[in-house]
Amino acid sequence: MTDDNQRRRPKASVRAIGNRRLQPNTLMMGHGFDPALSEGSLKPPIFLTSTFVFENAAAGKRHFEGVTGKRPGGAEGLVYSRFNGPNQEIAEDRLGVWEDAKDALTFSSGMSAIATVLLAFVQPGDVIVHSAPLYAATETLIGRILGKFGVKWLDFPAGATPEEIDAVVEKAQALGRVSLIYLESPANPTNVLVDVEAVANVRDTRFGTGEDRPPIVIDNTFLGPLWHKPLAHGADIVVYSLTKYAGGHSDLVAGGALGSKAHINTIRSMRNTIGTILDPNSAWMLLRSLETLELRMSRAGENAAKICAWLKDQPKVEKIVYLGFPENERQADIYRRHCTGAGSTFSLYLKGGEREAFAFLDALKIAKLAVSLGGTETLASCPAAMTHLSVPDDRKAALGITPNMVRISIGVEDADDLIADFEQALRAV
C-alpha cells in the first residue's frame, strides 16, 4: 500500500480544462478524492477509525516527523485520528478552493478553530488588537480566558477609519508585543463591515512586511466564502464557523481555518497537540453540504434582498442594518471594494425595546426562534438577551446591541411566504 492509498485521495485533482480554470462549485463534486482508491465509491466513505496502519516503520517515522513539527507540512500519510483523517483532509482541500488558500484545517467547532488559532500565535503578556463587536464567546476567550495569562487587548469599531485603526495599533504597541490582529466582518450582530485593506496597510506600515509581523486573522462566517474573500484584501488567516453557511443545514457543528502553508503549519501543530480536529462523520456531512453551497447562499441572498426592501418601509421598524443598504458612504465604500453580495443575515431594530422584540419573535410562524445563522431555514433571535447576554450592558449599548435588535438569518424558503410571516409578526408588536 502506498501513501496515496493510505490517504484515500489523489496526488492532484483536475483544476482546469485547457485554458479554463474550473470554478469552486464544480470542484466541490470531486476535488481531493479518487473513487479508485475507495472501491469505486462515487462519494468518500466515512472512515471511522481511531488509528491507521503504516506501510512500514520508516513510513511511520516520516509521518510522525510531520505530526510533531520536526518537519513542516504535517504528516505525509495518515497517522491517528487526532491528527488527520481522509474525510477531514478531503474537506480541507475543498475549503481551500473557495478562497484560493494554500492550505486549510477543519475543527470540531467554530470556537475551537478560533481558540486554536489564538493559542498558536499568542503568548502570555502579548497584546491583541481586534475589531468590535465580536461574537460574544470570542470576546470572552480574548478578554477573560487569555486575560488570565496576562494577555491584553485593545479594540476599534468595526467601521473605523484608517486613522482610527492606526491610533489603536499605536497604543497597543506601547503596551507590549502585538501578536495578532483579529477581525470579524461584518461584525456580529451589528452587521458593520471592517475595512480589511485599511487594517493591512496600517499593519504593514507599523510592523513592516517581514514574516515576524502580526498576522491578520478574520472571522468570515457571515459572508464567506461566496460574498467575501478576505485573503485577497490583505488578511493572512480566515476562520469560519462551518456550522453556518458551509454546513448550511443546521445539523452539524464545525470550524475551519485557511491561509498560507506557513501559518496553517503553525496552527496544525497546536491542533495536533490539543486535539480540536473535526470528527470524520461531520467532515463527511460537510462534504455533502459544500456541493450545494453556492446554490443555497445565492437563494438566501436573493430572498434577503427582497425581504429587507419590504421591511425597511414598515412603520414599526426603526431601522435595518443590511449590507445592501449601507448606512453611510464609508460602509458603502468598503462594501464596493470587499464584497460581491450583501449576504442573508441582517439586524432589524424595532421601535420600542425588549418587549417589542420578544413579541415579534414569539409571533413568528415560519421563521424559527433560534440562534445561529446560514441554514436552509430562516432563524431569528434577540442578541442582547441571548448570544450577547454575557457582554456587559454598557459595552452592548456602546456597540449598538440594544434590546430592540432582532438578528435575522434568511433561509431558502419562498420569499413571499417569509414576508407574510414577518407582516403578521409585526402586527403583534
- Do residues 209 and 298 share a domain? no
pLDDT at 2: 38
pLDDT digits (tens, 9 = 90+) for 25-55: 999 999 999 898 888 999 999 999 999 999 9
| Cα-Cα-Cα-Cα dihedral sign, residues 362, 306, 377, 96 | negative
- Do the domain assignments include residue 108? yes
**Nearest to 193, CA basis, from 167, 219, 154:** 219
- Do the domain assignments include residue 140? yes
Q: How far apart are the first and last CA of the chain?
A: 66
pLDDT at 7: 46
pLDDT digits (tens, 9 = 90+) for 68-87: 888 877 788 999 999 999 99
pLDDT digits (tens, 9 = 90+) for 185-215: 999 888 999 999 999 999 999 999 998 999 9
High-pLDDT (> 70) share of the chain, % = 97
- Do the domain assignments include residue 276? no
- Do residues 299 and 240 share a domain? no
- Do the domain assignments include residue 17? no
Tally of CB atoms within 10 A around 243: 25
Q: Measure the CA angle with vertex 371, ends 365 and 377; round to 5°.
A: 50
Q: Which of 215, 231, 258 is the last residue of a domain?
A: 258
Q: Which of 233, 258, 283 is the last residue of a domain?
A: 258
> Does the pLDDT value for residue 67 go beyond 70?
yes
pLDDT at 72: 77
| Cα-Cα-Cα-Cα dihedral sign, residues 331, 360, 188, 371 | negative
- Do residues 240 and 358 share a domain? no
Which of these ranges, 14-23, 153-162, 252-261, 363-372, has the smallest mean pLDDT?
14-23
Domain that residue 361 falls in: 293-427
Cell triple for 290 = 459544500
pLDDT digits (tens, 9 = 90+) for 308-339: 999 999 999 999 999 999 989 999 999 999 99
What mean pLDDT comes out for the span 279-284? 98
Cell triple for 60 = 511511520
- Do the domain assignments include residue 221? yes
| Cα-Cα-Cα-Cα dihedral sign, residues 79, 104, 299, 417 | positive
Residue 389: CATH number of its domain: 3.90.1150.10
- Do the domain assignments include residue 26? no
- Do the domain assignments include residue 57? no
Cell triple for 398 = 456602546
Q: Which of 231, 258, 285 is the last residue of a domain?
A: 258
Q: How many domains does the chain have?
A: 2
pTM reported for the whole predicted model: 0.92
> Does the pLDDT value for residue 17 go beyond 50?
yes
- Do residues 324 and 203 share a domain? no
Which of these ranges, 72-76, 196-200, 247-251, 368-372, has the smallest mean pLDDT?
72-76
Core vs surface per residue 207-241: b (16+ CB within 10 A) or e: eeeeeeebbbbbbbbbbbbbbbbbbebbbbbbbbb
